């Protein structure tokens, strides 16, 4: 991840096509590629004859019979070829300790999404998310949805409170190559379609509303185990019978591969298209993008950033290929940090902090910074498509 490869500027269209994944239920990203499936085409035909704002969901359309608008043009939606629930979301899969035999399916280098719960930490591996894209969890009485789109490399964790606690499912539709989820309700007419990378309902009764982001991090399984040895992880016994040994499409994820399942109007050339970036949402179309290639030039980094919610600090570890963006405050006091002999140390008290944002020794031992919710990892092409005015961090910008 730390090294950049040179773009192959003369790759033929056919070569690029071979390196673009298709999506099927059995192999995300493998199967037919179609811009408009049968149900979607039929629904759009009905929409043009009647309600121009209606939006299909796989096996049937969601009609805006209450007059709710679609916030994006229907011709910007693409059928991923799997249909509604063709990729099966999980509902409260079993969680096991890290050393459990049912956790042996995860490779050291596989990436995991981690969340904090009331009684510890939980990891949701890409091995699971690559197959299911949405994992619904109920923890501490709160409904969560951990989402991942293999096509855009983006994870986002949401609270399901905005949708009344109902679970999220995979719609089979894509916007800017990114996953669109739906809120599962007994009456399909009451469902809405939500964009994963910005959490906004783009069609349906909830159009314009946003899901609340839940703090989460992403790093390698090896790094997570070292950081949170007492945490739990999603078991391989999900009841679905999938092969969870695969956690990525290596060819599709090559840094310089520009191929995407859905055409992107303008690929931002400032970074390689499939480079992962850690993005911070800072309102509007902007934000900050921290490229893994730049972050990984040294073993660890401390980077400070101002946001509307106050100062945040990014603690990065290259060995783990991950880090956390934290609200740089404890008990109302703002903290700043530096690296001292490879350790994260705050300037105010000299306390030493872990990558998890927890003070391990010093005057603040036991204190913990809260994660900044609106930060997540994605492929550069996708982050730039959703945040075209983003600033790209580089070492010369300082910390």
- What does 166-191 look like in DSSP terms, one character per residue? PPEEEEEEEETTEEEEEE--SSGGG-
pLDDT of residue 265: 83
Burial 365-395 (b: 16+ CB within 10 A, else e): eebebebbbbbbbbbbbbbbbbbeebebbee
Is 49's pLDDT higher than 50? no
Centroid of chain to Cα 77: 19
Q: Which domains does the chain have, with CATH numbers?
A: 22-248 (no CATH), 276-397 (2.102.10.10)
**Closest to 43 in 3D by CA, of 31, 52, 32, 56:** 56
Contacts of 309 (CB under 8 A, 6+ apart): 327, 372
Residue 44 pLDDT > 50: no
pLDDT at residue 270, as a whole number:
98
Q: Which residue has the higher pLDDT, 222 or 54?
A: 222
Confidence of residue 308 (pLDDT cuts 50, 70, 90): confident
Average pLDDT along the chain = 85
| Position 307 pLDDT exceeds 80 | yes
What pLDDT is stored for residue 283 in this prediction? 72
Burial (0-12, 13-18, 19+ Cβ within 10 Å), 360: middle
Give the pLDDT of residue 62: 33
Asked if pLDDT for residue 121 goes beyond 70, the answer is yes
């Amino acid at each position: 991840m730390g090294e950049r490869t040179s773009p192959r500027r003369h790759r033929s269209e056919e070569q690029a096509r071979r390196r673009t994944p298709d999506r099927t239920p059995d192999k995300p990203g493998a199967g037919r590629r179609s811009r408009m499936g049968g149900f979607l085409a039929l629904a759009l035909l009905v929409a043009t004859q009647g309600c121009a704002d209606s939006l299909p969901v796989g096996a049937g359309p969601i009609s805006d019979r209450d007059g709710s608008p679609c916030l994006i043009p229907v011709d910007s939606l693409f059928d991923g070829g799997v249909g509604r629930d063709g990729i099966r979301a999980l509902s409260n899969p079993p969680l096991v300790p890290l050393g459990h035999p049912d956790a042996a399916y995860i490779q050291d280098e596989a990436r995991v999404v981690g969340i904090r719960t009331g009684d510890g930490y939980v990891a949701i591996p890409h091995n699971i998310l690559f197959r299911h894209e949405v994992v619904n969890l109920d923890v501490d009485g709160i409904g969560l949805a951990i989402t991942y789109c293999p096509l855009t490399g983006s994870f986002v964790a949401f609270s399901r409170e905005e949708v009344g606690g109902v679970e999220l499912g995979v719609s089979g539709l894509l916007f800017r190559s990114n996953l669109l989820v739906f809120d599962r309700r007994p009456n399909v007419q009451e469902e809405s379609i939500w964009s994963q990378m910005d959490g906004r309902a783009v069609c349906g009764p909830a159009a314009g509303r946003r899901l609340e982001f839940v703090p989460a991090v992403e790093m390698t399984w090896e790094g997570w185990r070292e950081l949170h040895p007492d945490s739990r992880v999603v078991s391989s016994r999900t009841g679905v019978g999938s092969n969870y040994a695969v956690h990525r499409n290596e060819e599709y994820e090559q840094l310089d591969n520009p191929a995407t399942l859905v055409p992107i109007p303008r690929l931002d050339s400032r970074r390689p298209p499939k480079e992962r970036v850690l993005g911070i949402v800072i309102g509007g179309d902007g934000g900050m993008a921290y490229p893994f290639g730049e972050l990984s030039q040294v073993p660890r980094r401390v980077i400070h950033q101002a946001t509307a919610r106050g100062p945040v600090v990014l603690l990065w570890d290259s060995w783990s290929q991950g880090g956390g963006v934290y609200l740089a405050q404890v008990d109302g006091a703002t903290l700043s940090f530096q690296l001292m002999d490879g350790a994260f140390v705050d300037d105010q008290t000299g306390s030493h902090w872990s990558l998890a944002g927890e003070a391990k020794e010093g005057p603040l031992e036991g204190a913990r910074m809260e994660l900044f919710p609106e930060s997540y990892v994605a492929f550069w092409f996708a982050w730039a498509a959703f945040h075209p005015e983003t600033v790209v961090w580089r070492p010369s910008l300082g910390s």
